[in-house]
Amino acid sequence: MMNLKEVVSSRRPTLLQIIILLTILQLLVTLLTNGFALSFDEAMWHYIGRNWFRHGMVPYSGGIDNKSPLIFVIFGLSDTLFGVNYWFPRVLATACQSISIYYIYKIAKHIAGQQAGMLAISFFGLSLLWHGTGGRYVAFTETYEVMFIAIAVYKYLTAQNKKDVLISGLMAGLGLGFRLSAIFGILTLIISSLRKSRIYTVTFCAGVSLSILFLASAGFFAGINLHSFLTYGLADNFGTGSTTDHSLLWKLENFSDKFFYSEIILFYPLVLAYIFIKRKVDLFILWLVLEFIGINIIGIYDTVHLKDLLALLSLMSAFTITWLVNVHKVPVKPVMVIIWLTFFPKLLEPLVNIKKILIGGTGPVEKYGIRPYIKPGEGSRKELGLWIKANTTSQDKVFVAGFGAQVQAYSERISPTVYFNATQTRIAKETFFHDMQINKPAMILVPLFSEYEQLVSADMRQFVNELIQKNYYLYKTMYNYNIYRAKK
């Protein structure tokens, strides 16, 4: 018979059980969302991916966004397999995120043992679910970037020969293929390898280069123009009218919101303790500094950008607690319980939606057609897109003014312009005016809610209004959009 100690030990959750639990929690958070629809960014990627897979319109000619073609592949495949849906990309990304969790465990275990590994995945897996770190937005490029960089770091740390280092570089290169911010993880490994061996550095860089060469070749044969990729994916993201064009006050407010008024502050005491314990810049501190610099260079401070920091914060926190347990004999079980209670995400929205599914009922009714005009929720934007699909032909072009990617995606209609969302750089405006002049759509939707005037420049709004006055008539109003049809 087992003694009491053996019984207690046998009841400890296993690595597989924790990963399964975290995976289930992620699916609850990401699938049971209000609206049960594609988010704004997902809708953009679905639209571009669908145009690519369904109509042969390659990225940057069938729709422009500043993301990697790899994310368009995922959403194009999703459309090919299941039509317009939000669940497949999120389930696939959740599986990839679980792989990240596993490799964070392996990194921590390699550095500080089994206990550190279990602590690290508790920190990491739970923090990924927070609202303040974009928990529901798992199907973003950050998920894939973090997965490949985590694998790269583990292969680098455990490398026994140049082959392992080469594999590390290959994985890091794939991470870069999904998101350019992976460069900061890559720089960390390059600097670290310089301290070890120049041969390791050359081999690692060779692996990164091979991945980039492979992805570039695949893009070339798919018909993607390299100049277009560099222009729309990189160069046109800075400057007037770009996604990073915000005032210093806006940036300070968003920086404070993400770093001082979100759940991420829970990490700070343990991370500071780690820095104090180490008293030198090791791989993890260097990596954290570079990632933090990267987030500030981009300067948007989106919640999902914090995902680049969570693995590091989790590892450093796990190492700190492991040190406390080993040096000061702090009992680990109560600490683990405290971690789960403190870091556990708020599940109000998924639980409410489970109730709706099981016993019916709806939330607050959105009131349309009365002032002040509200912006329709994701579910309403989905319904509007489906209405457009039912009331137009598959050959009709439809333009949704402003930021209407969700309406556009669910309508399954092609926009007359590659800038189907209101990007407002010089290049974007010139292209938008040109496209709309030569490809007049059968239907135009113009928002009544204030976001349109607040976020879309006056010259673009004026252009759309003049086009409507000459060629369109008001057909009806739905979900606080005026819907115009082309005159016969």
Examine the pLDDT at 287 and tell me if it is beyond 90.
Answer: yes
The predicted pLDDT at position 353 comes to 86
Examine the pLDDT at 340 and tell me if it is beyond 60.
Answer: yes
The predicted pLDDT at position 354 comes to 87
The mean of the pLDDT values for the chain is: 92
The predicted pLDDT at position 130 comes to 96
What is the arithmetic mean of pLDDT over 402-418? Answer: 96
The predicted pLDDT at position 62 comes to 85
Sequence length of the chain is 488
pLDDT band, residue 1 (cuts 50/70/90): very low
Examine the pLDDT at 416 and tell me if it is beyond 80.
Answer: yes
The predicted pLDDT at position 467 comes to 96
The predicted pLDDT at position 9 comes to 47
Percent of the chain with pLDDT over 70: 97
- Report the DSSP beta bridge partners of residue 474: 484
What is the arithmetic mean of pLDDT over 365-378? Answer: 89
The predicted pLDDT at position 8 comes to 41
Q: Which amino acid type is present at position 208?
A: V
pLDDT in tens, 82-92: 999 999 999 99
Return d(Cα 274, Cα 278) in angstroms, integer.
6
What is the arithmetic mean of pLDDT over 85-113? Answer: 98
pLDDT in tens, 183-213: 999 999 999 999 888 999 999 999 999 999 9
The answer to whether the CB of 388 falls within 8 A of the CB of 411 is yes
The predicted pLDDT at position 6 comes to 45
Q: Which amino acid type is present at position 264?
A: I
| CA dihedral over 30, 31, 36, 41, signed as positive or negative | positive
232 half-sphere exposure, CB direction, 13 A CA radius: 23
The answer to whether the CB of 67 falls within 8 A of the CB of 234 is no
| CA dihedral over 272, 273, 276, 278, signed as positive or negative | negative
Return d(Cα 480, Cα 464) in angstroms, integer.
17
Strands across the sheet containing 443-447: 398-400, 443-447, 481-486, 472-478
The predicted pLDDT at position 361 comes to 63
Within 8 A by CB and 6+ apart from 210, the residues are 169, 170, 173
> Which of the pair, 349 or 24, is modelled with greater confidence?
24
Within 8 A by CB and 6+ apart from 248, the residues are none
The predicted pLDDT at position 2 comes to 43
246 half-sphere exposure, CB direction, 13 A CA radius: 18
Residue 484 has phi, psi (to 5 degrees) of -110, 140
pTM equals: 0.93
- Report the DSSP beta bridge partners of residue 473: 485
Examine the pLDDT at 55 and tell me if it is beyond 50.
Answer: yes
Q: What is the DSSP letter of 39?
A: -
The predicted pLDDT at position 238 comes to 77
The predicted pLDDT at position 205 comes to 97
> Which of the pair, 329 or 74, is modelled with greater confidence?
74
The answer to whether the CB of 74 falls within 8 A of the CB of 89 is yes
What is the arithmetic mean of pLDDT over 271-295? Answer: 95
**Assigned token pair, 59:** 């990225």
Q: Which residue has the tokens 């607040």?
A: 454
Compute the radius of gyration of the chain from its Cα atoms: 24
Return d(Cα 36, Cα 210) in angstroms, integer.
40
